[in-house]
Chains A and B, each alone.
Chain A
Amino acid sequence: MSPAERGQQVTLEERQPFIEIKNVTKKFGDFVAVDDLSLDIYQSELFCLLGGSGSGKSTLLRMLAGFENPTHGQIVIDGVDMTDIPPWKRSINMMFQSYALFPHLTVESNIAFGLKREGVAAREIKARVQDMIDLVQLNKFAKRKPAQLSGGQRQRVALARALIKRPKVLLLDEPLGALDKKLREETQFELINIQESLGVTFVVVTHDQEEAMTLASRMAVMHEGEIQQLGLPHEVYEFPTNRFVAEFIGSVNMFEGHVVEDEPDYVMIASKEAGSHLYVSHGISCSPNQNVSVAIRPEKILMSHNKPEHDYNCCPGVVEDIAYMGNMSVFKIRLDSGKTVRITRFNRERSEDEYFTWHDKVFLTWGPTSCVVLTS
């Protein structure tokens, strides 16, 4: 199952939320880190909180763990109000961004730490530690100290240590942030597999949109202490509900314009910037002549030397710059209005039928469903 499919299943089922964040506000002095935020997270979800630095996502995570207390509002997990429960009594574990492995303990003792605090019998601790070590494939390294491990191995120790207490919720703070690109891709899938096999609810905080997209079954985009958009990864990417989300996730080209035709099944938008009318094949809630922004992703734009048949969604321009990136190329096109548009094009064939080079005169076009109209 892809993460998106799992997400759909969760939302289709009418379930009681597992984590209820109710009108939570957190202030540090005058600074409002989290602003009257409400959010429900369901059992066995892999939920991602995506946001830039200072968006309040880490503060929210720390409130779930119990390291910070909300200034107002309430957090309920599995039906229990968490307000007066200290971190060491919550059946929630956290994987820290720095991993926070105890440097004076071996891998084994690090993993066993949580169980020892619970007063579990020595024999059971041994068996469960062995299970975890098997799960994260660290058999060869059980007796080593964290300093003698690589970044990826440390990450797995941190994961094992956080999972061994069989928490109801696992919080992950930038789980892949410290890994290099290749390792990060492998680990992403590993993490999803572990989450699926254990069925633990994961809440991941990240500033990396790619990480959020691949991991999440559902995600929330945060900015200035508020949730900007909540939804499945592809919903958030394809149908951003506001400018911030559109620009924060992936790259996007924005055209300013105003509505000229507003029908239930389509809208036509006049845009001087685009140099053409823009046609969107679904209705939007707007008033005639309202000013709107039209967002279109670089990979959705087609480029051609020949003028397309229709008059709308057709922007003439000149190739200004090309960046060859191996699997794809990024083109910067200067439109006749002076606006620069970014498009990406996969390098499918070694010798393309249409070859584009600097200063070529081109037409940009896209399908009627490819762009999103943003009214806010």
Chain B
Amino acid sequence: MKKKSTFLMITATLGFAFLYAPIVSLVVYSFNASKLVTVWGGFSTKWYGELLDNDQILDAAFISLKIAVISATLAVVLGTIAGFCLSRFKRFRGRMALSGMVTAPLVMPEVITGLSLLLLFVAMEGLLGWPSGRGTLTVIIAHVTFCMAYVAVIVQSRLSSMDESLEEAAMDLGAKPGSLFFLVTLPLIMPAIVSGWLLSFTLSLDDLVIASFVSGPGNSTLPMVIFSKIRLGVSPEINALATLMIAAIALGVIATVFQMHRLKKNAV
């Protein structure tokens, strides 16, 4: 028994170290006074100060957040509709095609998604004059395209595990199909929608490859800025920024866990 628990301790420690050691070192070095990222030069918070003065990074962070919020929201709306259609309408023309199209972005390499979207935008601009140039809008469209696939899959699986007689019961009690969706279906798939939104938000915030293809000048997202800076050598400001993001994400995760717990309690 004793031996077993020692073994468990060791594997757990190694596992956590493997996952979190890089993050911890990043956080530690964000408080490094030295300009050289790899050499410890004493404790300092000066990089946080410099970060706040760095308009390029702050602008990029703001753009990224804006894109992430808008595209996650749109992806949730479209993805929910797609997931709902796939799980509730058993037979319609093009069902197979829709189901294939919806899930395609999940397996498509990002480079291909990015490139094909870029070609599409260029062609559309030539033919329709819209979207004019590439910038925040094109990045949002691109992110919605692949994020809604995740939302659709999550919502669809939640809906198919849901008892369909719930919706029939609502209809039977006088709810028209429209109000029925908001009164019964939506509250019940809310956990799936929330996790779909969070996943989309994260995916959008995280995306470098697709954004690099479809973004225009002056609209670099945060990952693009960080990536371009790293090519010139890692700056300690990036460490500070990353630490702030980790803190924000940790808070977000904790809040979500509580929220999901509450929703589950209500929904069960």
Contacts and interface: CB of A to CB of B under 8 A. Distances in A.
Interface of A: 65-67, 86-89, 92-94, 96-98, 100-104, 113-114, 117-118, 145, 147, 161-162, 165
A94 B166 CA distance: 12
Contacts, number: 66
B158 to A, nearest CB: 13
A101 B187 CA distance: 14
A67 B173 contact: no
Contacts of B172: 65-66, 87-88, 92-94, 162
A156 to B, nearest CB: 15
Given A65-B172, A103-B267, 19 more contacts: A88-B171, A88-B173, A88-B174, A88-B176, A93-B173, A94-B172, A96-B165, A96-B169, A100-B166, A101-B169, A102-B184, A103-B188, A104-B266, A113-B170, A114-B173, A117-B179, A145-B268, A161-B173, A165-B174
A101 to B, nearest CB: 8
A120 to B, nearest CB: 10
9 contacts: A67-B171, A96-B165, A96-B168, A100-B166, A102-B169, A103-B188, A104-B267, A114-B174, A162-B172
B55 interface: no
Nearest to B266: A104
B187 A104 contact: yes
B28 to A, nearest CB: 45
B163 interface: yes
Contacts of A89: 174
Interface string B181-213: 001100110000000000000000000000000
B81 to A, nearest CB: 21
Nearest 9 A-B pairs (CB), nearest first? A117-B174, A114-B173, A100-B169, A100-B165, A147-B268, A87-B171, A104-B187, A96-B165, A88-B174
Given A65-B172, A88-B171, A88-B176, A100 B267 contact: no
B175 interface: yes
Nearest to B188: A104
A86 B173 CA distance: 11
Contacts of B175: 88, 113, 117
A113 to B, nearest CB: 5
Most chain A beta-carbon contacts within 10 A, residue among B171, B184, B267? B171
Interface residues of B, number: 20
Nearest to A67: B168
B174 to A, nearest CB: 4
A89 B188 CA distance: 24
Contacts of B176: 88
Most chain B beta-carbon contacts within 10 A, residue among A87, A92, A98, A161? A87
A100 B171 contact: no
A145 B163 CA distance: 17
A88 B171 CA distance: 5
A259 B172 CA distance: 54
A101 B168 CA distance: 11
A103 B268 contact: yes
Most chain A beta-carbon contacts within 10 A, residue among B171, B172, B176? B172
Contacts of A87: 168, 171-172
Interface in B228-268: 266-268
Interface in B25-54: none
Contact of B163 (A100, A114, A117): A100
A234 B186 CA distance: 48
Contacts of B174: 88-89, 114, 117-118, 165
Contacts of A118: 174
A191 to B, nearest CB: 19
A70 to B, nearest CB: 17
A100 B168 contact: yes
B163 A98 contact: yes
Contacts of B187: 104
Nearest to B171: A87
Contacts of A145: 266, 268
B173 A165 contact: yes
Nearest to B163: A98
Contacts of A98: 163, 165
Most chain B beta-carbon contacts within 10 A, residue among A104, A145, A147, A165? A104
A65 B188 CA distance: 24
Contacts of A113: 170, 173, 175, 183
Nearest to B162: A103
A200 B266 CA distance: 34
